[in-house]
Amino acid sequence: MVTTRPNLQNRTLRRTGAGLLTGAAASLGLLLTPATAVAAEPAPAPAAEAPAPAPSAAQVAVDTALAQVGKPYVYGGGGPDSFDCSGLTQFAYAAAGISLPHSSKGQSQIGVPIAPLDLQPGDLVFYYSPVSHVGIYIGDGQIVHAGTEATGVEITTVSMDGYNYATRIA
């Protein structure tokens, strides 16, 4: 009977190969663990505030008109030091990038008619028939307008005498 002796060299190679693979796998595990940990658990980013949305053209017009309160009324005035009613609305909307004519009648022919209960800040409000006065609705039943030489640019009720109609242009 013939007895075969296992090849120790092959066994050693197998073990060495297995040992190398195990050693390599262990080394790879050590090398990959930090990368895996970073990918699995990213450091929290500092909280960044979302940029504020840009104000609408109507809000820019309202804010610009409100900044003129207290300035004098001058017939034909278009700002920045004095205003008449349509000069104020023209100036305010120009700040928002919207061009309006310098007359209340001309402005009354622009935009979409708005019912009194649907008024929103920035709507143009017209008075008298034929139209001869304009203001900008600012909310809460009020407008900003260049009233008279005695009042200048002021805030008053939208329902002042002579209310005719309103339009929305932005």
Residues serving a catalytic function are 85, 133, 145
What span, in angstroms and rounded, lies between the C-alpha atoms of 150 and 74? 10
- The counts of H helices and E strands in the chain are 4, 6
Mind giving me the DSSP string for 12-68? HHHHHHHHHHHHHHHHHHHHHHHHHHHHHSPPPPPP-PPPPPPPPHHHHHHHHHHTT
